[in-house]
Chain A
Amino acid sequence: MPFRIPNFRNLSLSGRASGSENRSPLFGMRLSANVFRQTPFRLTLMFITVYSFVAVLIFAYIYIASSSETKAVSDAQVKSRIDYLEEVYREQGEAAVLETLVEEDITEWFFIKNIYDDQGRVLAQNRRAMTEVTPRVFNHIRERIKTLPDARAPFQINYRLTDPAGQRKAYAYRGQVLTLRPGLNLYVGMDTSWSEKGFDMGFKALWGGGVLVIVLGLFAGMIINNEVSRSVQGLMQVFDAVKEGDLKARAKLRHSGDEFDALAQRVNETLDRMEKTMGNLKYAGDAIAHDLRTPLSRLRSKLEVSLYDVEKDPSQAPDVIEKALAETDQLLRTFQTVFSMSRLQAAGQAPDQKPFDATALAMDMCELFEILAEDKGLEFTSEIDKGVTAFGNRDFLAQALANLLDNAIKYTQTGGITLRLRVNSRQEVEFSVTDTGQGVPEADRARITQRFVRLENSRSLPGVGLGLSMVEAVAVAHRGRLTIDEGPGVYKDQGPGLRTALVLPPYGG
């Protein structure tokens, strides 16, 4: 896992924490009791504990294994000496064994050997025994021998002596006793302090290393902890700000490419999206409020004036009420449309989608709107491909097509309307409506799908400016799109016209 190592220039090992507590990651305010509750630090402690435990286990195993090996080796060595000396005694007699014991060669340096009588008087001893076995030690050896259940069993003695140079020295011998005859006892011990010393050194190294590991581990843990908590605290501050209602709060990116940066980036993206959605909602809310306020106040003043009229001439009452009803209906319709759109957008996709006969839908729309166009003196033509199947919600798509056709008829004074249905080269199902009206300047085309946007020349016509917004919402809810292009072009006093197309993704059936 790529932990990010902080910039060490920020590390302040001296007490230079004043003034920049946030930037001093190690010995600043963070190193308080709650550092132990922070995850990275707790993980570090856990790893250190596990490490120490394992190290102790390994060392104990090595110690046990090698000390039993040491015992076995020294016991065998001691036994071979004793056997040899016993042989000398049996074959050459007492004097020979005493002489052999004293006159040994240098290879026997690891052993102490002595022969003593039952009173504890030393009859002979080798050089090492002379220097390292004081009478007190010798007595100690004899006392130990008495406690042994089997006189020939190997035993260990440890003792410390001050050597002639005045230094305390630790001795460790493992040896055995053999009684050659009553009053003639042979002791041979082997120096095992080399093994003890090895362990001592190993033990010290392990402790030293362990302490170093623990200290470094804690140090690293704190660094990681600070690094993590700095990142996390940055994010928490952002969330706190958002919780308090500040949707503009964003996490600072460090562009380090690590996980925290990636997380901060996601958080920022989510907040961007939320801010935009909230903005949309607010905009829609404002727009509805605005759009409802105008007709509502108009309705109110009309009713107010009508009241006087009705008082003078009661026969006007039905007319007045009917007009008021018509206005109310328009308001409700606006409300309903915005509501539908919001639900579509919130759901992300149209409900209840299934394969349907797109050809039939186009023909039905033709049949519905043809006479509306004809009534206005417009020519209505259609080019509908046969047998086209699409996937979607038929009623929502009918609504969208009705809006497109209604717009086309509304904004066309002369010429005609054409409804087309085809499967395009990308296998998409494309409904398009072309008219010969005035068209929409290119600069305005992106704008006209926004809610409540109406262009100057349409203000005199009925409508509230939701038609194309609804079409777009329906298209998006089908993973399709609405495209708006120029119509057939200018011809006499007509045109250039507008071509709107509702394009649905290919139906894979």
Chain B
Amino acid sequence: MTHILIVEDDVEAALTMQKGLKEQGFDSTVTHDGEAGLKALRGGGFDVVVLDRMMPGLDGVSMLEIARSEGMDIPVLFLSALGELEDRVYGLKAGADDYLVKPYALVELVARVEALLRRKDTGAVESVLRVGELEMNLITRVVKRGTTEIDLQPREFQLLEFLMRHVGQSVTRTMLLEKVWAYHFDPQTNVIDVHISRLRAKLDKGFDKPMLHTVRGEGYQLKA
């Protein structure tokens, strides 16, 4: 079972997070400061770390720098209430793999944790992605559902590729804007929804079983 280390000084927030992750099937251990987090991390047995940036004593950035300098390459998701661009850049420079701004939706946290776990175990370069009857050839850029070829715009192709690489996981609007369009901002509107519904129309039209689902809250999920 996947084991997550949560380093968060706000006890209540940490417990809520632990409960939420448990619901999604992730076990977690909570520590409340950088020193304890580092100690737990040195003990090993974790698959991903959710690390709060601002903590009394050893803060998240310093703790991460120490961990990285000791050669620990465990994926780390940074949490911060700051949320501005320079803070994110700073966090990523310190060695974080992803960055999430408080307040966040639980689904967003889970989605990002899943993405980090995924990153950890896929090292191989694939040329064909398959999800159920959906097949994407990354070289010829042909997408088929069953025998039906689906004609996609370049961005729709990238969108679907991302969803296929995170099959079975929830991905949020912010994640999509960040990973597919490479922008970090709050689109404020349903602009991502419109793109998804376009893709969904092409993907699920004429098929009984929909593959692209809307997740209650604020995300999407591709299911086989």
Contacts and interface: CB of A to CB of B under 8 A. Distances in A.
Interface of A: 318, 322, 325, 329, 332-333, 336-337, 339-340, 343, 351-352, 364, 367-369, 371-372, 375, 393-396, 398-399, 402-403, 406, 410, 467
Interface in B111-155: 155
Given A318-B216, A372-B191, A375-B194, A337 B89 contact: no
Interface of B: 83-86, 89, 101, 103, 105, 155, 181, 183-191, 194-195, 198, 216-218
A394 B185 CA distance: 10
A286 to B, nearest CB: 23
Contacts of B194: 371-372, 375
B189 A393 contact: no
A402 B86 contact: no
B86 A351 contact: yes
Contacts of A336: 83, 101, 186
Contacts of A339: 83
B217 A322 contact: yes
A333 B89 CA distance: 21
B181 A364 contact: yes
A398 B194 CA distance: 18
A316 to B, nearest CB: 14
A322 B86 CA distance: 33
Given A329-B105, A398-B185, A402-B185, A369 B191 contact: yes
Contacts of A467: 188
Given A343-B84, A367-B155, A371-B198, A395 B191 contact: no
The majority secondary structure among interface residues of chain B is loop
A395 B183 contact: yes
A402 B187 contact: yes
The 6 closest A-B pairs by CB, nearest first: A399-B185, A351-B86, A395-B184, A406-B189, A398-B183, A372-B194
A325 B217 contact: yes
Given A336-B101, A336-B186, 20 more contacts: A322-B217, A329-B105, A333-B186, A337-B186, A340-B84, A351-B85, A351-B86, A364-B181, A368-B195, A371-B195, A371-B198, A372-B189, A375-B194, A395-B183, A402-B187, A402-B189, A402-B191, A406-B191, A410-B189, A467-B188
Contacts of B186: 333, 336-337, 399
14 contacts: A325-B217, A329-B218, A333-B186, A336-B83, A340-B84, A343-B84, A364-B181, A367-B155, A371-B195, A372-B189, A372-B190, A395-B183, A399-B185, A406-B187
A337 B185 CA distance: 10
A393 B183 CA distance: 11
Contacts of B105: 325, 329
A393 B85 CA distance: 9
B188 A333 contact: yes
Nearest to A463: B188
A352 B86 contact: yes
A367 B180 CA distance: 12
Nearest to B177: A368
Contacts of A398: 183, 185
A370 B186 CA distance: 18
Contacts of A410: 189
Contacts of B181: 364, 368
A313 to B, nearest CB: 19
Nearest to A375: B194
Contacts of A399: 185-186
Contacts of A393: 85
A337 B186 CA distance: 9
Nearest to A374: B194
A390 B186 CA distance: 22
Given A395-B183, A402-B188, A352 B216 contact: no
A83 B218 CA distance: 129
Nearest to A403: B188
B188 A368 contact: no
Nearest to A367: B155
B85 A406 contact: no
Given A322-B216, A368-B181, A371-B195, A396 B85 contact: yes
B183 to A, nearest CB: 5
B187 A351 contact: no
A467 B189 CA distance: 11
A329 B218 CA distance: 10
Specify which of A369, A371, A410 lies most central, judged by the most chain B CB atoms within 10 Å of its CB.
A371
Nearest to B101: A336
A234 to B, nearest CB: 42
Contacts of B188: 333, 402-403, 406, 467
Nearest to B154: A367
B172 to A, nearest CB: 11
A322 B194 CA distance: 20
Contacts of B86: 351-352
